[in-house]
């Protein structure tokens, strides 16, 4: 339990030591990172288990960079700490999102590709695919089992008035095991609490807050497609834009099936470094 509390404190202190963010933690919308900008996020998933199961904290760091107007790339580093067990590093992920249509449309498609170099102890639950997640073995055993995975998503996002509506369809393949293809989904709706900017600078003004609701879960695999033994969550969320560069997010996810973790608490702090790509390019240009 002491390790669990220490890890939570470290995650939050690291965040405060250091853009507009929506309230989603699992669902992706159509927004891309601005070219040359670097977004740094410290996030955590806290699992509140059923009786007899271990609680855990799964912190992770995200580095998101706008390569071009149509290509955003991200690197994730993640770990997990389980009650009455250990704290370990669980791996990394590298993802890219591509926007084929430059202009805003009624429905905006985004193509997503992600490579994951993990072990079976991973618990951040950045997406829910296949069948239900569970801790059936200790970290010492799970960390020995590699999980090299390839994940794709079709992201559809729409802005309808002041509302954002987003749908994600997920396919994942574990390249380290013969498990077939796993499927999942995520849907989200979000709305700013205020649409008119205040005449004076204000941290607690309504326009700095965006509320949302996510529904996400697994759809089994090619070996057993459907809802049997799958996890599904309903998750309200709130994003608070602290200033032009930083934001906080919080979302409590409620498990909807017996196979789901009863509650997932998600937190994040994000800080955006604007124009860093242009500054680096200029620096190397002067050296030539």
Instruction: Please tell me the distance from the alpha carbon of residue 153 to that of residue 185, in angstroms, as a whole number.
Output: 9
**pLDDT by residue, tens only, the chain of 288 residues:** 444 343 433 333 333 333 457 899 999 999 999 999 999 999 999 999 888 778 999 999 999 999 999 999 999 999 999 988 999 999 999 999 999 998 999 999 999 999 999 999 999 999 999 988 777 788 999 999 898 999 999 999 999 999 999 999 999 999 987 788 999 999 999 999 987 766 567 878 888 999 999 999 999 999 999 999 999 999 999 999 999 899 999 999 999 999 999 999 999 999 999 988 776 667 666 554
pLDDT at 51: 80
**pLDDT for the residue numbered 22:** 87
Show the CA angle centred on residue 84, arms to residues 131 and 86, nearest 5°: 80
Q: How far apart are CA 285 and CA 272, in angstroms?
A: 24
Domains of the chain with bracketed CATH? 2-287 (2.40.160.40)
Query: Which pair of structure tokens corresponds to residue 75?
Result: 């690197």
**Cα 273 versus chain centre, distance:** 19
From residue 20, alpha-carbon distances to 43, 208, 272, 283 in Å are 16, 9, 9, 28
> Which pLDDT score is estimated for 3?
43
The model carries a pTM of 0.87
Q: How far apart are CA 98 and CA 236, in angstroms?
A: 27
Spell out where 69-162 has E strands.
71-82, 87-98, 108-119, 146-160
Model pLDDT, residue 199: 59
Strands 181-192 and 146-160, sheet pairing: unpaired
């Amino acid at each position: 339990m002491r390790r669990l509390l220490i890890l939570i404190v470290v995650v939050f202190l690291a965040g405060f030591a250091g853009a507009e963010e929506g309230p989603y933690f699992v669902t992706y919308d159509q927004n891309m990172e601005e070219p040359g900008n670097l977004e740094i996020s410290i996030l955590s998933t806290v699992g509140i288990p059923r009786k007899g199961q271990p609680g855990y904290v799964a912190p992770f760091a995200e580095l998101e960079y706008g390569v071009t107007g149509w290509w955003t790339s991200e690197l994730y580093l993640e770990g997990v700490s389980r009650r009455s067990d250990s704290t370990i590093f669980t791996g990394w992920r590298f993802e890219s999102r591509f926007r084929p249509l430059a202009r805003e449309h009624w429905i905006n498609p985004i193509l997503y590709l992600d490579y994951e170099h993990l072990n079976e102890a991973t618990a951040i639950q950045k997406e829910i695919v296949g069948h239900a997640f569970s801790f059936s073995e200790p970290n010492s055993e799970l960390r020995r089992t590699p999980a090299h995975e390839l994940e794709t998503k079709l992201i559809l996002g729409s802005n309808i008035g002041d509302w954002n509506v987003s749908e994600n369809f997920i396919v994942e393949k574990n390249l380290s095991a013969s498990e077939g293809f796993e499927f999942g989904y995520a849907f989200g709706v979000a709305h700013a609490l205020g649409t008119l900017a205040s005449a004076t600078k204000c941290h607690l003004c309504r326009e700095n807050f965006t509320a949302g609701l996510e529904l996400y879960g697994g759809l089994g695999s090619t070996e057993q497609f459907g809802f049997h033994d799958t996890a599904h969550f309903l998750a309200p969320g709130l994003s608070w834009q602290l200033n032009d560069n930083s934001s906080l997010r919080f979302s409590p996810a409620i498990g909807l099936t017996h196979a789901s973790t009863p509650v997932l608490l998600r937190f994040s702090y994000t800080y955006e470094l604007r124009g860093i790509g242009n500054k680096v390019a200029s620096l190397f240009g002067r050296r030539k």
